[in-house]
Chains A and B, each alone.
Chain A
């Protein structure tokens, strides 16, 4: 099981997950720390303020169910390797459209069912949806229109240091607890195979202010902007990134019939930097690294030795895999910046092959 978000809804859901039958292992994902203002709405106490949310909830889970295997990832779901979301189900308790999009696309690529919940403190509303990646099922974005996409959080150049965050929902603890309870019930249905009553392809909205509830059906949108409805067939390479090279992956791709037309390399959710032009001396330096790796360990200009920082125009979502890469082909994937559970793809004009790296 994967729980994304340990805020208002997530913190209340923890207790249900710890007691649920069929949950043997749980991964918690949230990048934030608890703040004093969270005391009013989230299932925490004063000693939790200032601590990472996932650490607090992991300890709480351990007290409820000591036999649970728990992994706590203090990171935004956008930064988590795709393979880390592989589970029997994903439960999302998010306040961000962008994070929901990431969960949605990841779930469809992996073929993992997921349950989304949201609350609106102003209207006293709770919303629950369940998505099961299958032939003709709808995804989250199938029901989205231009307004929804326009509301996705952005980072702006004038406050680049700020992560794209959503505004607080302003929802009281009771609403979060109601959403958590409904999610726990949906999860039980999924785990027991009760798809008939699960909210698959349906949206449940509870209006707690006016004592009403609404169920809306929605279907697959043939013009949905999310491109991965077919899902990915992902092969496991049970070796760490330090033991696999690009050349090894290229050898695996020997079976591509149209290999001569060019193969490209992608790492799910990550961006590649091939060359950086130095802002100081103007010299180009060949880099060939994931942006994530360069953030931790900046490259140096080949001419003036100053630290390099890639601009937006120097970020790519894929890189051509050619024999001309030379030494870079023999270097381990960890040198590129690939980490455990990353999904590395080799793509030809007619076929994609996906490999989850790590043991």
Chain B
């Protein structure tokens, strides 16, 4: 039997999520399921990875899976709602190294897809960082963050392209999407 409230919620998440992706140079969104209750988010922003020899450098391809199970509007499960899909050697205190866990903190039931995408983006780009080991999934990255405060944020671009007002020339008007 149809859960009308959930169906309406999923429809809105699909519309708003695709709208954000269409207005972003840093996000691709693939809806999955009918109705779409899972999304594959591919971020092409800059973040950090750690290689086997210990070298930490920038990368620009990150994948996250987002699920909205049937009871999502009543009880959110952070472990299931957002899954880190790769790369496995991502480097960030809020993302586990080698296992598919990312911590966004407390997740209110019914949190919108767009909010989750923004929170994930802020983590990947090191605009949001936890400095406490007891709050971190990657303790080594947490320590590295405290010792290397000049290395982040890694990417300061906004997730959504900004509209830019162009100066008008007599008889003409102009606006355009600004691109960094």
What residues of chain A have their CB less than 8 Å away from a CB belonging to chain B? 98, 101, 141, 146, 149-150, 152, 154-158, 160, 223, 225-227, 230, 271, 279, 311-315, 317, 352
Residue of A nearest to B93 (CB): A158
Residue in contact with B80 in the complex, picked from A101, A230, A315, A352, CB distance below 8 Å = A315
B: contact size bracket? 35 or more
Contact assessment for B107 and A312 in the assembled complex, using a CB-CB cutoff below 8 Å: no
Please name 30 pairs of A and B residues whose Cβ atoms are closer than 8 Å in the assembled complex, sorted by A: A146-B108, A146-B110, A149-B74, A149-B110, A152-B74, A152-B75, A154-B107, A156-B78, A156-B103, A156-B105, A158-B103, A158-B134, A158-B135, A223-B5, A225-B73, A225-B74, A227-B1, A227-B3, A227-B5, A279-B98, A279-B99, A311-B83, A311-B85, A311-B100, A312-B79, A312-B82, A313-B38, A313-B83, A315-B80, A317-B69
Closest residue of chain B to A352, judged by CB?
B1
What 5 new A-B contacts, CB under 8 Å, besides A156-B79, A156-B105? A152-B74, A158-B134, A160-B101, A312-B80, A315-B69
> Taking beta carbons and an 8 Å cutoff, which residues of B are in contact with A?
1, 3, 5-6, 38, 65, 67, 69-70, 73-83, 85, 88, 96, 98-103, 105-110, 134-137
Q: Give chain A residues whose Cβ lies under 8 Å from the Cβ of B83.
A: 311-314
Chain A residues near B106: list those with CB within 8 A. 154, 156
Q: Please determine whether B103 and A157 come into contact, CB atoms closer than 8 angstroms.
A: yes
What are the residues of chain B within 8 A of A312 when measuring CB–CB?
Answer: 65, 67, 77, 79-83, 100
Report B-chain residues with C-beta under 8 Å of the C-beta of A352. Answer: 1
Q: Which residues of A contact B85 (CB under 8 A)?
A: 311, 313
Once the chains are docked, how many angstroms separate the CA of A230 from the CA of B6? Answer: 17
Q: What chain A residues lie within 8 Å of B137 (beta carbons)?
A: 157-158
Whether B78 contacts A154 by the Cβ 8 Å rule is yes
Most buried by A among B74, B106, B110: B74
Closest approach, in angstroms, between the C-beta of B86 and any C-beta of chain A? 9
Of all A-B residue pairs in the complex, the 9 with the closest CB atoms, nearest first, are A313-B65, A312-B80, A313-B83, A157-B103, A311-B100, A312-B83, A227-B3, A157-B101, A149-B109
Contacts of A311 in B (CB 8 A): 65, 83, 85, 100
Q: Which single residue of chain A is at the shortest CB-CB distance from B135?
A: A158
Q: How far is the CA of A100 from the CA of B58 in the complex (A)?
A: 46
User: Which secondary structure dominates chain B's binding surface?
Assistant: loop
Q: In the complex, are the beta carbons of A150 and B100 less than 8 A apart? A: no
Pairwise interchain contact B78-A155, C-beta atoms closer than 8 A: yes
A279 touches B74 (CB 8 A): no
Closest to B100 in A: A311
Closest chain B CB from A155 CB (angstroms): 6
Verify A101–B78 contact, CB threshold 8 A.
Answer: no
Write out the residue numbers on chain A whose beta carbons fall within 8 Å of the beta carbon of B110. 146, 149
Among B1, B96, B98, B101, the most chain A Cβ lie within 10 Å of the Cβ of B1
A227 to B73, CA, bound (A): 11
Which residues on A sit within 8 Å (CB–CB) of B78?
154-157
Kindly state the separation between the CA atoms of A146 and B96 in the bound complex, as whole angstroms.
30
- Cβ A155 vs Cβ B108 within 8 A: no
Instruction: Output the nearest chain A residue to B72 by Cβ-Cβ distance.
Output: A225
List residues of chain B with CB within 8 A of the CB of A141: 74
The complex places the Cα of A156 from the Cα of B85 at a distance, in Å, of 18
**Complex: A152 Cα to B69 Cα, angstroms:** 16
| Distance in angstroms between the alpha carbons of A279 and B99 in the assembled complex | 7
A152 to B74, CA, bound (A): 8
Q: Contact between A157 and B74 (Cβ–Cβ < 8 Å)?
A: no
Closest to B66 in A: A313
Contact residue among B67, B75, B99, B101 (Cβ-Cβ distance under 8 Å from A101): B75
Chain A residue numbers with a CB within 8 Å of B79 are 155-157, 160, 312
The residue that B109 contacts in the complex, of A152, A155, A226, A314, with Cβ under 8 A, is: A152
Query: Which residues on A sit within 8 Å (CB–CB) of B109?
Result: 149-150, 152
Highest count of chain B CB atoms <10 Å: which of A152, A155, A157, A271: A157
Residues in A with CB closer than 8 Å to B102 are 157
Q: How far is the CA of A156 from the CA of B104 in the complex (A)?
A: 9
